[in-house]
Every structure is written in structure tokens, then in C-alpha cells.
């Protein structure tokens, strides 16, 4: 995969690396997707969506512990940077999906509940909670 040369502006370079990460992920090259996302985070370490990108790349590559670490890092950054609850809800939903994949429905359920608390209109979280409660016989 060819890419643009490194950019001098750190913010633009981080975006370039994030896009490169997405491209590698779509091509199924998970190691390169993770590497590009790691470099993006290194360039702009306080940017929550770059940590989220790293979490997405790690989850797609089957590195679930690493994905959870990156997604939780993004949550910490959002707590500092953003008052908008929608990114927080999205991150909790992604954490729930990773926990579900790891075979931890208890943690997934808790994360879906947090997603719903952050955004009561989150239809995905609502649906998953209902499905999990039905499966548990509640």
C-alpha cells in the first residue's frame, strides 16, 4: 500500500497515519493497521479519537487486551477533553463488543449499560442489553 510522505504538521500527520491505519485494516493487514495507529497516537498523544483508532485496529486484529487498553485510554482522554456524551457512549459500546468477543458477557453488559447511561438514545446499546437480558432469562 502506498501512502503520502510524512507531513510536517503534527495534527495532519496524525490524521494521515490514522487513515493509513484504516486502509491497512480494510485490506486485512492488521499488524500494519496497529503500527500506523500507534504512530498516530505517538504524534498526538492527547487526541482521544486516535486512541480509539488504535483500539479499533487492535480489536480487528484479535488483540483484545490491547484494544481494551486503547479504548479505555480514549475514555480517559474524553473525560478531560469533551463534555459531549456521544463519543463516550460510542467508546463504551466498543468496549462492550470487545468484552463480548472475549467471552466476558458480564463486562459487556456493564459497558453497554454505561453506553446507555451516556446516551439514552443509543439504539445499539438498548438492543444488545435487551438481547442479553433475554438470553439470561430476565
Residues 101 and 66 in one domain: no
Digit-by-digit pLDDT tens for the chain (138 residues) are 555 678 788 899 999 999 999 999 999 999 999 999 999 999 999 999 999 999 999 999 999 999 999 999 999 999 877 678 899 999 999 999 999 999 999 999 999 999 999 999 999 999 999 999 999 887
Q: Which of 57, 82, 107 is the last residue of a domain?
A: 82
Q: What integer pLDDT is reported at residue 4 of this predicted model?
A: 64
Residues 99 and 73 in one domain: no
The C-alpha angle with vertex 122 and arms to 24 and 56, in degrees rounded to 5, equals 15
Q: How far is CA 116 from CA 13, 46, 52, 97, 109, in A?
A: 34, 25, 19, 14, 11
pTM of the model: 0.86
Look at residue 59 and tell me if it is in a domain.
yes
Look at residue 5 and tell me if it is in a domain.
no
Q: What are phi and psi of 108, to 5 degrees?
A: -60, -45
Q: Which domain holds residue 92?
A: 84-138
Look at residue 4 and tell me if it is in a domain.
no
Q: What integer pLDDT is reported at residue 85 of this predicted model?
A: 87
Overall number of domains in the chain: 2
Look at residue 123 and tell me if it is in a domain.
yes
Q: Which of 82, 105, 125 is the last residue of a domain?
A: 82
Look at residue 27 and tell me if it is in a domain.
yes
Amino acid at each position: 500500500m502506498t501512502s503520502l510522505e510524512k507531513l510536517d504538521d503534527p495534527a495532519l500527520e496524525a490524521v494521515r497515519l490514522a487513515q493509513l491505519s484504516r486502509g491497512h485494516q480494510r485490506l486485512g493487514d492488521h499488524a500494519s493497521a496497529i503500527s500506523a495507529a500507534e504512530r498516530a497516537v505517538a504524534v498526538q498523544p492527547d487526541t482521544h479519537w486516535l486512541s480509539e483508532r488504535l483500539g479499533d485496529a487492535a480489536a480487528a486484529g484479535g488483540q483484545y487486551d490491547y484494544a481494551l487498553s486503547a479504548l479505555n485510554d480514549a475514555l480517559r482522554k474524553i473525560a478531560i477533553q469533551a463534555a459531549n456524551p456521544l463519543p463516550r457512549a460510542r467508546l463504551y459500546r466498543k468496549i462492550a463488543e470487545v468484552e463480548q468477543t472475549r467471552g466476558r458477557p458480564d463486562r459487556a453488559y456493564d459497558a453497554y449499560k454505561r453506553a446507555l447511561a451516556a446516551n439514552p438514545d443509543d439504539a445499539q446499546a438498548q438492543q444488545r442489553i435487551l438481547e442479553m437480558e433475554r438470553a439470561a432469562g430476565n
